[in-house]
Amino acid sequence: MYPEIEPHTSGHLDTGDGNLVYWEECGNPDGKPVVFLHGGPGGGCSPSHRRLFDPSAYRIVLFDQRGCGRSLPHASTTGDLSLNTTWHLVADMELLRESLGISRWQVFGGSWGSTLALAYAEKHPDHVSELVLRGIFTLRSSEVDWYYRGGAANLFPDLWEKFTAPIAGLDGDPVELYAKLLSSPDPEVHGPAAVAWSTWEGATVTLLPRPELVAEFAVPEYALAFARIENHYFVNNGWFEEGQLIRDATRLADIPGVIVQGRYDIATPAVSAWDLHKAWPGSELVIVPDAGHAYDEPGILAALLEATDRFRD
């Protein structure tokens, strides 16, 4: 990765509906614009995300999506997510792009960030110079079923038991059952549920276990925002029609792009990357043979850096 770097400009974007979206700029103010879209939804940006781009060549824009990271109000303090949808986030991106005076930018996103990147690019293709995507997630029902309704339990029965502990003995859809727990005003209810939801992901996104990553996902404030936002999006199917992002990938025909996918990605299995590649004319698919889902696994990181280096000029 490129060396550590600090923002030279930052602020909060007033969306006009009570949300303040944190954003920052790093790198070369006169460089090629790129916007980084974090995962989750609800994950927020970290300093390491700045290091995916050559700071001498790129004008690097990062922002924390509504309700998480440094954006306000934080989902750990409010259960009202009615103004937090995919299309609110797409509108936030357009407002941010316009406020920064950027005509076109490269859009980089992994996991949920790939979902948001596709939604944005399919709606505003003229404002996207390239797409760099990783760990493709399109919020098709089969994808949510696999990871949150029992499919992945076949590979991780021990971790699945921990994930389902808060809803043990209850009948119904795990995603819907979690929605009730996470919306409870009682910290004794929503707190353990949030940590169980969040650490399920932290424990399964890497090819090999990384206890320090699980510990980060278990921090109560982070876990609550992450779980509440993520669950909210899944309950509402991302505000997409079934299969919409793959169906509309033909709109990306004039946008160059690279798709990086870990062969052993449990969170977002490779079939979605494959389906997107087949539907997106001109896309390049890189399947990393010894990686899971996380962006900083060596093979995935190398492919992402190769892509951003290739597109920087």
Average pLDDT, the chain: 97
Residue 111 annotated to the active site: yes
pLDDT at residue 78 in the model: 84
Per-residue pLDDT band at 280 (split at 50, 70, 90): very high
Residue 265 annotated to the active site: yes
pLDDT at residue 228 in the model: 98
pLDDT at residue 248 in the model: 98
Q: Is the pLDDT of residue 162 over 90?
A: yes
Q: Report the pLDDT averaged over residues 279-295.
A: 97
Residue 10 annotated to the active site: no
pLDDT tens track for 171-191 = 999 999 999 999 999 999 999
Report the candidate in 266, 169, 174, 181 with the shortest Cα–Cα distance to residue 224.
181
Per-residue pLDDT band at 103 (split at 50, 70, 90): very high
pLDDT tens track for 14-28 = 999 999 999 999 999
pLDDT at residue 115 in the model: 98
Q: Report the pLDDT averaged over residues 160-180.
A: 97
pLDDT at residue 240 in the model: 98
| Residue of 111, 198, 272, 283 marked active site | 111
pLDDT tens track for 71-91 = 999 999 988 999 999 999 999
| Residue of 54, 114, 265, 277 marked active site | 265
| Residue of 49, 88, 232, 293 marked active site | 293
Q: Report the pLDDT averaged over residues 299-309.
A: 98
Which domains, ranges and CATH numbers included, belong to the chain? Answer: 9-141+239-311 (3.40.50.1820), 144-237 (no CATH)
pLDDT tens track for 209-218 = 999 999 999 9
Q: Is the pLDDT of residue 223 over 90?
A: yes
Per-residue pLDDT band at 201 (split at 50, 70, 90): very high
Percentage of the chain exceeding pLDDT 70: 100
Q: Is the pLDDT of residue 198 over 90?
A: yes
Q: Is the pLDDT of residue 306 over 90?
A: yes
Q: Is the pLDDT of residue 44 over 90?
A: yes
Q: Report the pLDDT averaged over residues 97-108.
A: 98
